[in-house]
Structures are given as structure tokens and as C-alpha cells.
Structure 1
Amino acid sequence: MQNYLEFNFKIKPLQPWNEILMAELIEIGFDSFTEEYDGILAYIQKELFKETELKSLDLLNNPEIEISYTSAEMPNINWNEEWEKNFSPINIEDKVSIRAEFHEPQNLPTEIIIQPKMSFGTGHHATTYLMIQQMLDMDFNGKKVLDMGCGTSVLAIFAKMRGAADTLAIDIDEWSVENSGENAARNNVDFKVELGTADNLGKESFDIILANINRNILISDIPVYIKNLNENGELLLSGLCFFDVDDILEVCYAENLKLKKKIQREEWVSLLLEK
């Protein structure tokens, strides 16, 4: 077990800024959240926390929003126990269930079983939901797939369930890499998991690239994805707020990608593009 810091953020107005704050906090190392009626509780490993990074977040310096916070050290949290308290099954269009082993089966056509541990991507976040929703209409049969910023590897698992061939999952977080391998075994699928970034890709090519990350990383890495995307390949993106879309599309159009489908859930957006 590792020592964590708990931050209690009070946010006015709450929506949509609570979700946007979580996205910014993830970028500086926060990895777990609980939504409150007036804000969020956010958690980060004590050794990873840097106060200068927190104070420099755009949202904390936005005069249109009131955000205050307090913090306390939370030693020896049993995170598996915490996840079990807060993780409920997810139903995506009555077609896909994402649940933990301790939940009862949901009797949907596809069931993904995960033990999320510390990793982001249980399906509760709107962006994961949007990615699965888009994937329902995509052809994965025999395709080579990349899950970039994989978290729990829900997306890689679902791609394999839909017939994907060789699949690679990459994340910068060691917890995610370990958890991804465990979740793959739980769902009787097999794919490669690596610790790293887009720099890992080298000259490897893919038919489908899935990237549910965040705006800044996507803007930086989309040109790399395109180099590793086969002709007529598909790039599926999320981790985007509605006001990020124009900036992302500008980068994509500069790389001659075509927008095939855009869907939105709450303030979050997913984009499906084709090379």
C-alpha cells in the first residue's frame, strides 16, 4: 500500500467544471476521484505531488470559476476495497456491460469484467462510454489495433472480443500495465501491453488506433499516430471536451484525415476519423 494525498475541491458552478478539473488533474498525476454534491475528492500518490503543478492549472486560475481546496494525507488506503465500494456495473446501449467480478452478470450480449485497481477507465467516465459506443459500429475483424493510454485496457479487451487480430496496449502508468494484463486474462483475451508513450510505436503500423487520453497529448501525438496508421485506417479519439474539438480537428485535417462520426455525451466528445 502507498501513502496518498486526498484533495477536497469545492467548485462553483459544479457543471461542467468538475469533469474538466478531473481531466486536468489526471495530467499532473492524480489517478482516483470521487464526485461530491459540491465538488470532487481527488487522490494522488504523495511522492508524485508537486504543488507548483497544481497551482499552475488553467482551471484554478480562471476568474469565471470558484475553486477552493483542502488536502490531507491518507496513509495505507486499500484501493481495491475503495473501488469495490464505488464501482457499479455500466450498461452501454443494452449491448455491453462493464462490471467487476463481484457483480452479478448483467445478461447483455457482451460482458467485460475488470478489477480496476488504480487505473483510469472503468467505463464510468463519459469518454470511455463514448469510445465503446463508437466501437459498436466499427469493424474490428482481423484488424491490427492500438489502444493508446489504455488504463484498464477496456478498449483493447472489447476490440479483441469484436475480432481484432494483433492488439497493442500502451500506458505511461505501471499500475495500468499490470492491471491490463490481469484484465485481459479475466476476459480470456490476449494482447501485448507496454509501459511507455507514442515513442514506443517505432515503425509499427495499425488498422485502428484508439486514443482516449486528453487534449494536449492528442495534439502532440496525432501526427505520430498518423505515421503508424495504415491507409484507410481509422483513428478513434476521446478525452475531449466540446470546446477542444476545433483544435483537434485542425491537427487532424492538417494530416489529411476525414471526419467520419462525432458523438457527444454531456460535455465530452468522441471523434472517429479515417486516413
Structure 2
Amino acid sequence: MTSEIEGKVVLITGGSSGLGAETATLLASRGAKVAVAARRTDKLDAVVAQIESSGGVARAYPMDVTDKNQVASVVAGVVSDFGKLDVLINNAGLMPIRPMAEVNTEEWDQMIDVNLKGVLYGIAAALPRFLEQGSGHIINLSSVAGIKVFAPGGTVYSGTKFAVSAISEGLRQEVGDKVRVTSIEPGAVESELKHGTSGTAAETVMEFYDQAIPASSVARAIAFAVEQPADVDINAIVLRPTSQEF
């Protein structure tokens, strides 16, 4: 086990599958106590069962990141159940790719609600506790689309991810003396994210994801940020498949 991870209580949103589940499993294997939160309780229970079967500690929390009251309740529940919270990983996200000319405002609303407001609601729930205890770590999942606009098709998605990267950096500047802040900016990663696209761009997205790296690769990057000593803050990690140009 890694001493800087062992014993930490970590809450992961979107923890029922893909990157969230992989990160939960890896951190638990290194001694963290993991809380996984998402809407799909059956998948959450499966992640917890897998972690527990390997001797780890985990607990599931049904939660919709677009409901700020639910997010606040889950954070409070994790503190009540585990006695503290050390790390919040804002991982939940959507990526429907579609040209803006198709004007699908429902998808725009969903991305803003999940990708952006969901991150803000997580920060709102955890940050006061972190400031009060004088320590904590907020890890936000952005994207390479948050450092270079993914267009055509991903313009609004990029908008939400640019916002996440900006919020991460601004938050670091505001509270970095007490709370560590990390922005994770991956390229194509094998997960359910690619299935959020329908219509004219679906085939293009699936072809783009032929080069995807496994979610475990990003989980290792997150673990690297978490395992640093308290006086080291990994501010941003960009990783992508070696074959990915964008």
C-alpha cells in the first residue's frame, strides 16, 4: 500500500462504471476507503462488491450530480459514515457530440448540468469542510477538449470542459494554501462516454475511440496526484493515446 493513499476517504462521482469504477478499485487496493456515487445503484453495488471481495473498503451512495441537495446530502453522509472526507473526485460527465447547427438544446442543457454544474455542486458541498479541517483534495475530470476545442461537433462539450479547467485553476489560486486542486485532462479513454453520441456524429465518434486507452490508465494518473505528500499539489495532468493527434 502507498502510505499517502492508505486511510484516505475518497468520494467519486460517476463511480458506477468506467473511469470512476477503475479509480475506485485502484485507490481501494492501495488502502483508501472509497465512496462511489452515481444514479445506477445496481452498478454501484457491483463495484462495492468487487472492492470488498479483494479486501478493500467501499460504500455506495445513490446520487444525481445535477441535484445540489443530493450532492450535499451524500457528502454529509460520507463524513458521517467514515468520519471524514479527504478527496473528492468530480468524475461524472456526458459527451454527446453533435454539430451546433443541429441546435439540440436539450443536450446542451444536459452537458451544462452534469459536466459543469455537477462539478460546482461537488465543490460547494466539500469545500467548506476541507477549509474547516485545513486540508483536502478536489480532483476534477476535464478533458483534452478543455485545452483545445473539439470541433466540429464537440463545441459545447469543449465549452463545459474549458470551464472545468478554468474553475480548477481559479479554485487552486483561491484556496491552494489549504486545499489541493487537480484537473485531469484525458484524451480518448475506453468508457461509456462514447455511447452518449447519437445521430450524424455517432460513427465518427466510435472511429475516434478505436485508439482509446483503458480507463485504468487515467486511474493511475489520479492515484499519482492523490499519493503526493501534503506539500505537493499536482495541478493538471494531460494524457492521451500515443496515436491521438488531437
TM category, shorter: 0.3 to 0.5
TM-score, L = length of structure 2: 0.45
TM-score, L = length of structure 1: 0.41
Q: Going by fraction, where is helix more abundant, 1 or 2?
A: 2
Q: Going by fraction, where is strand more abundant, 1 or 2?
A: 1
Q: Which has the higher contact order (CA 8 A, sep 6+)?
A: 2
